[in-house]
Every structure is written in C-alpha cells, then in structure tokens.
Amino acid sequence: MTPETIEAYGVRLRPSRPDDVADTAAACADPITQRFMPGLPNPYTEESARWWIAEGEPAAWAAGGASYAIADPATDRLLGAVGLSNSMPKRRQFEIGYWVAPWARGRGVATTATRALAEQAFAAGCARLELLADEENTASQRVALAAGFRPEGVRRSAGTARDGSRYDLVAWVRLADDPPGPAARLLPDLPEERLTDGVVTVRRVALGDADTLHRLHTLPEVVANRVPPVPPTRESTERRCRLAECHWLAGRSADLVIVDAASGAVAGGSALVYDEPATGQAMLGYSVLPEARGRGLATRAVRLVAGWAFEIGLARLWAGTRPENVASQRVLKKAGFRREGLLRGRLPSPGDTRTDSVVYGLLAADLPR
C-alpha cells in the first residue's frame, strides 16, 4: 500500500500534516484515548504530535504498515487516525487500529474509516485483519462489529499497561472474503436498553450494580446453586460487571439485573448464556434477593428474558436446578418451562461430592400467552 488519500463513506483518509499538530495533541491527551492506548506518551504534548507526524507515521509506512489521519471531507479538519501495524507478510495479515478525537465521537467516524482502510488493505492483497481491544473498551468493540469484524476470542495478557502489568485483549477478525456490512450479532441490544412489563424491568448489568450483586451471589442459598458452589470475591463480582457488555457484544452471554419497577431497586439477577449457538440453545439462570421474594418478580423476569430470546432467533432455552430447589422449579413451571429429566451427578458440591440437576426446557410455543 502507498500513502494515497482515500475518500470513502463520508470520511477522508490522508497523510498527517504539520497543521494537524494542535488537534493531534488535544485528541491524544484526552483521558479516554490515554486510557485505552497506553503506548501513547503521557503527557501527550504538541511536541509528541510533531514527532509522530515527522517520524512516527513515516516509520509505520516503512515497516510495511499504514497510517492515516481521518479528516472531515468538508473542512479537512482532523477527526482521528487509523492504521495498519504488525505486518505478517507470510500470513498476509495486519492489525488494524484507530482513535477518534473527542469532538468527532458518536458520528460513526471510526466505523467508516475502518471499513475504508480494510477494503483498501484487502484490495492490496491482505487476507486477514485483526482488531485487538481492551475488554472494557466496548465502544471500540461496537466499531469492530459495525465494520464487519467477528469475535474470535480473548488474547490473555496480550496488553501491557503503563505500570508494566498485563491485561487481556479481545480479538476481532475480518477476512477478505467475509460478506460486506456489519457482522451479525448473536445477542443484539435490548430494545430501548430494557425489557419491562410494568412490574419488573430487566436491563444489562452495570458497574454500579456490583455491591448489590455481590450481596446476592454470596447468600448461602445462592452459593449452593453456583457452579462451583463457592462464593465470588468482591473483585470478581466487580470484574463481571465491568465485562458484562463485552461478553454481550461477543455473543457469549446477556448478564442482567432484575429491577422492581415500582421502587427502582435491584431485586435480583439473571443471565442468558448462549451455550450452543449452532443449535440455537441458551441457558437461563436467575436469583432474587430475600426482600424481593414471594412477589412473582422472578417469574416475570424469566418470561421477559425468554420472550426476548425467542424474538432474536433462539430456538430453545434450558435451565437446571438442584432437586431440593423447589422454589426455583416453581418459577420455571410458571414461566412455561417443562421438566425434561434428571442429570445424575452433574453438579459439583462441597467436599468433592456431586449432586443431581433437574433439567427444564422451553420452546417458543410453550411461553404463556
């Protein structure tokens, strides 16, 4: 590839210029940019920007990659940057990356620039593009999906923080022969970010839910039904909340909280785990805080989540309970699930023992009308 200007999808990709210094410095000093691009100088100054334009960008090209400023076609003002790095000629592979200035966010700039550069790279003979993102950088992962990249897994400890510690990166990949347009999502966002029947509201887990969910998941009766039956640490609960959107975007699970619509208080939690995408099957789990029990909130939440699951194309839901968990079995039956059998010794129990699991299944036709 050569550093020629690319005009596509409402953006301009061009070489950086000396008059981009002020905007580059302002954008790269932004806290969000600094958080998710720990390799940038900190503080990022106009001197840093001058070095990048004069030396860094040409070096990227000399190494076999590419580096472009993203500009507004109408004004030519800098909106961000996009580039190719980590060239692997034998594999015909690059890593693609980008950043967007604060004044240009929310306009689809990263998506259109990534699409434009990806097409240019494929036309030049590239076979595979990787996009690596911090697990908490869900804005970048949404760009990946919109630009046609598909989730491929987690690169453990592939990222290096400023303090030298390591963190995981999510890998998103697009191949030259992948179909055009956004990648299909196994688990789309909830309509208007929630489901509700007026009594119960279900929404995605957020970081602010960590305290309540930790209290819920450390209750002895809830721990007894965990796999394995061990209470989570406060740190692991917070991490679960931080990564809920990442797992949702990748199509692995929809982690939810159950909210009492009248009071606005979190009443419990639920999760839809897409364990068999090939067959269209997911597992549904739930638990409710003691003060919210006995009011039918769990049943209402299960019905809401199940109805949404079938609307987005799932074919079958299943749930399992320990044989003695009669209250949970009652919830499932009221929500339309049917008992399908007993799996002997399926679940680990304390003391290296095993316990049985009663399995329930639900098809779309089973939902109460």
63: domain CATH number is 3.40.630.30
Q: What is the separation, in whole angstroms, between the first and last Cα of the chain?
A: 59
The pLDDT confidence band at residue 155, using thresholds 50, 70 and 90, is very high
Does a structural domain hold residue 184? no
**Domain total in the chain:** 2
Instruction: Give per-residue pLDDT as tens, 221-271.
Output: 999 888 888 999 999 999 999 999 999 999 999 999 999 999 999 999 999
In a domain, 181, yes or no: no
How many angstroms separate the Cα of 167 from the Cα of each of 86, 120, 138, 207?
19, 31, 15, 19
Per-residue pLDDT averaged across 48-77, rounded?
Answer: 97
* Calpha distance 15→23 (Å, rounded): 14
**Whether residue 295 has pLDDT greater than 80:** yes
* pLDDT score for 351: 79
Question: Residue 39 is encoded by which pair of tokens?
Answer: 């390799």
The total number of residues written for the chain in this structure: 369
pLDDT of residue 169: 98
**pTM value?**
0.94
pLDDT for 1 beyond 70:
no
Judge whether 182 lies within some domain: no
Mean pLDDT of 45-65: 97
Whether residues 316 and 261 share a domain: the answer is yes
Looking at the fold, whether 128 and 16 belong to one and the same domain comes out as yes
Q: Which of 117, 148, 175 is the last residue of a domain?
A: 175
Calculate ∠ Cα 26-17-23, nearest 5°.
Answer: 10
Give yes or no: residues 203 and 344 share one domain: yes
Chain-wide mean pLDDT for the chain? 96
Same domain, 41 and 138: yes
| 281-288 and 195-196 beta bridge pairing | unpaired
pLDDT of 2 > 80? The answer is no
pLDDT at residue 280, rounded to an integer: 97
- 331-369 pLDDT per residue, tens: 999 999 999 999 999 988 887 889 999 999 999 999 887
212 and 276 belong to one structural domain: yes
**Does the structure show a pLDDT above 80 at 17?**
yes
Q: Are residues 215 and 289 in the same domain?
A: yes
Query: Among positive and negative, which fits the CA dihedral 89, 91, 92, 97?
Result: negative
Residues 212 and 343 both lie in one domain: yes
Helix ranges (DSSP H) in the chain:
21-28, 31-36, 46-51, 57-62, 109-123, 138-146, 210-217, 220-223, 234-249, 297-311, 326-334
Q: Domain range spanning residue 82?
A: 6-175
Give the mean model confidence (pLDDT) for residues 189-202.
97
Are β-strands 316-321 and 338-349 bridged in parallel, bridged antiparallel, or unpaired?
unpaired
